[in-house]
């Protein structure tokens, strides 16, 4: 990512009051001939001769290391705009080696660090602006591109398949990036939970699930056997309140904590992932949070399996991150539909 055009940073030489204004652009630093003479404390003719040798010997390519910028100068009573040549960091370092100047090494260290810092800051600012525009705008842009290319026959059938995936899961890529970088926030749009699942209801539902799985040979007698009343504790924890206010007031928060606690706390001798997923779906259905506005499931079978496995393998210190991930997957418009 290129730096902003004409961004100036002042460099003061260590141990002196002498300094030069360094222009940062195109991921490098630029100085004029006069500035290099000031930096290296050499006559302009000396600097000019070294630059000429650098290019004549083929050490550097002039076109790639020299740029012309308009500069306003005062000449007598007139203000005149002239094109002044600037030399990039490669050229500056080459001259520094030739004049055998310690200042060349100092400047190289400073410039490298400054360029890196400005690139990071510029990327962070750019990334924050993108986030502030919202996911919806990103999805709209991707969908518009997909429609345009498809309608104009700009892609092959294979390409259309790729576009379908890119546009259909535009928000997924962002969520995955935010998960990797531990930047997932709590979704703004959440829905109040109106129905809770009490212990007796949960036990009855788990017994029904176990009976059906036993019929299919998909469970053992240990499936669903509770350890010391832990399930009651989990169900109580997601309904707890403080000063009359629920700690987890939304459907998304309660569902996420329910799935996480059942899978991670192992309240059963066997079947914790399956039971956690089952109660998760049961709770969402009871609160009308299972499907999105189009009637499609917010989390399909494969996604539920992946989410349960991811939760099971997650580290304890990543609990909050996992909770936020589940909540985001339950948020409205989890994936765009159609192109």
Query: Looking at per-residue confidence, does 126 or 329 come out higher?
Result: 329
Residue 227 has pLDDT above 60, yes or no: yes
Residue 165 has pLDDT above 70, yes or no: no
Could you tell me if 115 and 3 are in contact, meaning their C-beta atoms sit under 8 angstroms apart? yes
84 and 145 share a domain?
no
pLDDT, tens only, 293-334: 778 888 888 888 888 998 998 888 889 888 988 998 888 543
Neighbours of 4 (CB within 10 A): 10
Q: What is the pLDDT of residue 214?
A: 94
Q: Give buried/exposed letters for 11-48 (b at 16+ CB in 10 A, else e).
A: bebeeeeeebebbbbeebbbbbbebbbbbbebeeeebe
- Domain membership flag for residue 221: yes
- Domain membership flag for residue 192: no
C-alpha to C-alpha distance for 311 and 307, rounded to whole angstroms: 6
C-alpha to C-alpha distance for 38 and 31, rounded to whole angstroms: 10
Place of tokens 């055998």: 100
pLDDT, tens only, 166-179: 555 556 666 776 77
pLDDT, tens only, 197-223: 999 999 999 999 999 999 999 999 999
143 and 96 share a domain?
no
Q: What is the pLDDT of residue 207?
A: 95
* Domain containing residue 217: CATH number: 1.20.120
Q: What is the DSSP string of 25-89?
A: ETTEEEEEHHHHHHHHT--HHHHHHHHHHHHHTTSS-HHHHEEEEEEEEEETTEEEEEEEEEEEH
Q: What is the pLDDT of residue 136?
A: 52
Residue 7 has pLDDT above 80, yes or no: no
85 and 207 share a domain?
no
- Domain membership flag for residue 304: yes
79 and 107 share a domain?
yes
Q: Which of 147-156, 164-173, 290-299 has the highest mean pLDDT?
A: 290-299
Q: What is the pLDDT of residue 111?
A: 80
C-alpha to C-alpha distance for 32 and 87, rounded to whole angstroms: 6
Structure tokens at 275: 């039971």
- The CB-side HSE value for 333 (13 A sphere, CA atoms) comes to 15
Residue 186 has pLDDT above 50, yes or no: yes
Among 131, 156, 176, where does a domain finish? 131
pLDDT band at 337 (very low <50, low <70, confident <90, very high): very low
254 and 307 share a domain?
yes
Structure tokens at 329: 């997957």
Q: Which of 55-59, 258-262, 280-284, 293-297 is predicted least confidently?
A: 293-297
- Domain membership flag for residue 186: no
12 and 118 share a domain?
yes
161 and 59 share a domain?
no
203 and 82 share a domain?
no
| % of the chain at pLDDT higher than 70 | 75
Residue 79 has pLDDT above 60, yes or no: yes
125 and 146 share a domain?
no
Could you tell me if 25 and 2 are in contact, meaning their C-beta atoms sit under 8 angstroms apart? yes
The number of distinct structural domains making up the chain is: 3
Among 131, 158, 190, where does a domain finish? 131
Place of tokens 């909050």: 320
232 and 256 share a domain?
yes
pTM, 2 dp: 0.53
140 and 124 share a domain?
no
The range of the structural domain enclosing residue 229 comes to 199-330
């Amino acid at each position: 990512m290129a730096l902003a055009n004409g961004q100036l940073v002042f460099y003061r030489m260590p141990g002196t009051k002498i300094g030069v204004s360094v222009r940062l652009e195109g991921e490098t630093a630029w100085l004029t001939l006069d500035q290099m003479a000031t930096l290296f404390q050499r006559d302009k003719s000396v600097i000019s001769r070294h630059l000429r040798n650098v290019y004549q010997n083929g050490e550097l390519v002039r076109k790639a290391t020299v740029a012309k910028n308009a500069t306003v100068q005062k000449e007598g009573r007139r203000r005149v705009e002239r094109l002044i040549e600037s030399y990039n960091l490669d050229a500056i370092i080459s001259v520094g080696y030739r004049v055998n100047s310690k200042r060349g090494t100092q400047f190289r260290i400073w410039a490298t660090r400054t360029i890196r810092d400005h690139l990071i800051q510029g990327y962070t600012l750019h990334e924050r602006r993108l986030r502030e525009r919202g996911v919806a705008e990103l999805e709209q842009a991707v969908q518009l591109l997909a429609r345009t290319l498809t309608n104009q026959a700009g892609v092959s059938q294979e390409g259309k398949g790729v576009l379908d995936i890119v546009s259909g899961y535009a928000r997924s890529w962002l969520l995955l990036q935010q998960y990797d970088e531990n930047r997932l926030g709590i979704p703004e749009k959440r829905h109040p939970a109106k129905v809770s699942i009490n212990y007796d209801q949960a036990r009855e539902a788990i017994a029904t699930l176990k009976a059906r799985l036993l019929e299919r040979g998909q469970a053992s007698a240990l499936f669903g056997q509770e350890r010391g009343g832990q399930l009651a504790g989990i169900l109580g924890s997601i309904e707890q309140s403080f000063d009359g206010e629920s700690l987890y007031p939304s459907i998304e928060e309660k569902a996420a904590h329910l799935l996480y606690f059942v899978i991670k706390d192992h309240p059963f001798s066997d079947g914790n992932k399956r039971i956690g997923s089952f109660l998760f779906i049961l709770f969402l259905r009871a609160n009308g949070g299972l499907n999105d506005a189009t009637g499609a499931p917010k989390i399909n079978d494969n996604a539920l399996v992946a989410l349960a496995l991811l939760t099971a393998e997650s580290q304890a210190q990543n609990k909050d991150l996992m909770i936020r991930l589940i909540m985001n997957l339950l948020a409205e418009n989890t994936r765009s539909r159609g192109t």
